[in-house]
Every structure is written in structure tokens, then in C-alpha cells.
Amino acid sequence: MARLRLGVLVSGRGSNLQALLDACADPDFPAEVALVISNVPDAYALTRAESAGVPTLVVRHKEFADRAAFDAALDAALRQARVDLVCLAGFMRLLTEGFVEGWRDRIINIHPSLLPAFRGLHTHEQALEAGVRFHGCTVHFVRPELDDGPIIVQGVVPVRADDDADALAARVLEVEHRIFPLAVRLIAEGQAVVEGNGVRVRGAIASDAVLINPAP
């Protein structure tokens, strides 16, 4: 079967891109990275893509008159690369409604919180401030509203009493690297299908593990 062609949008360090590149290195994985686009010219993510032999493109948002023009350039590059699924992997630009709707149900994002809690930036600080006992990360289909859309996979980590934002971020990031390729695989295999505001995952086994923190 043809592999799903991924277009990965990045702005920074690219560790989630790396998780996708590593997954795609397995010939049995049902997707491949067709193009990596960065809006930041010196993003380390570009080096990762080049090392993996994947085509890269820099589209500097500052060179465009407005968001619509920037998004149109992204859209053209993704379509030219015959991308099937757009993956936002630490892409720190807001996308226009026109762009998002043009890729409806074919664009996913990884976000470092258990959505719908803690949208936006500084999610680990938000979690510590709120005093939650569990935190985590979410892969979801993108809708025009920020950090909104049908949830595909979530991963949970406990919050420890002595955590600071960096410790918590590191614990969550490890889980991000597991759930992002998992979500891509479920979509590529046709197992994750949008239904209303949610995603139905066929054939997946939901975890029945109960977590209590602090432990009783």
C-alpha cells in the first residue's frame, strides 16, 4: 500500500519531527515524511530533516504582507509535494481559517497538555499553577480555534510534588514522542476517523489502567 505522505511544519528544535522521522525509517510504518517546512530559517528541525535526507523548505512569515499570504505559500508548497497529511510539530504560528478548512481532517497538531485544559503557551506552568495531579499531551485534528479539534490520542504523566516546569516538560515530551507517531499510524491505517466533535478509533484497545496520584 502507498505510504501516507506527511508535510511537517516546524519552528524550533524538532524533537517531535525526529520521532516521526524515526518511525518512518521503518519500512513497515505506513507513512513517510515528504516535506518539512520551517518558518524559522535556523530551526534545528531543518538539520534533523536534512540528516534524514528529507526535502526542506523555509517560508519566512516576515516576508509576507499578512497571514493569508503566508498560509497560501505554505499551502502551495504542501500541495506541490503531494502531501496527504499536515503535521504541526512545534509550529508556533497561528493558521488562518481558510488554510485550516482547506486541510480539514487532514491536519493534526501535537499540544503539550491534556486538552481541553491549558490551551496556548506555557502549558506546564499552567498545569503547576492549577495544581493538577496529572498532566500530559494531546494529538488532535486542527480546527480554526486555537488548540481545538477532535482528539486522536492522549498521553498522561503524573505531576510530582517537587516538579518545576522543566522537569514536567521533559516528562511530557517523552510521551509526545510516542503518541505523535501513533496518531499518524492510526490515521494512515484508516483506524482513526472523525465523527462529530470526536474521533472514533477502530480496533484500538483503550487502556483500562487506573491512575491515582498521590498513590493511596
Q: Min. distance of Cβ 112 from ligand GAR in angstroms?
A: 4
Binding footprint of ligand GAR on the chain (CB under 6 A): 12-16, 89-90, 110-112, 173, 176
Closest CA to 104 of 141, 55, 150: 141
Q: 3-state DSSP: the chain helix, strand, coil percent, rounded to 5?
A: 35, 25, 45
Residue 91 Cβ vs ligand GAR, minimum distance, rounded to whole Å = 7
> Cβ closer to ligand GAR: 13 or 79?
13
Quote the CA–CA distance of 58 and 46 in Å, as a whole number. 9
| Catalytic entry in 61, 111, 124, 135 | 111
135 is catalytic: no
CB of 71 to ligand GAR, least distance (A): 17
Residue 25 CA, distance from chain mean position: 18
**Closer of 88 and 188 to ligand GAR (Cβ):** 88
Closer residue to ligand GAR in complex, CB, 158/193: 158
Q: What minimum distance in Å lies between the beta carbon of 110 and ligand GAR?
A: 5
Decide whether 142 or 188 has the Cβ nearer to ligand GAR: 142
Q: Rounded to an integer, what distance in angstroms lies between the CA atom of residue 11 and that of residue 92?
A: 6
33, 49 contact by CB (below 8 A): yes
- Count of other CB atoms within 10 angstroms of residue 77: 16
Tell me the C-alpha to C-alpha distance, in Å, between residue 23 and each of 96, 135, 154, 157.
30, 25, 18, 22
Q: Using CB positions, name the residue nearest to ligand GAR.
A: 90
**Of residues 151 and 193, the one with the C-beta less far from ligand GAR:** 151
Whole-angstrom distance, CA of residue 22 vs CA of residue 108? 18
Least CB distance to ligand GAR at residue 1 (A): 28
So which residues are the catalytic ones? 111
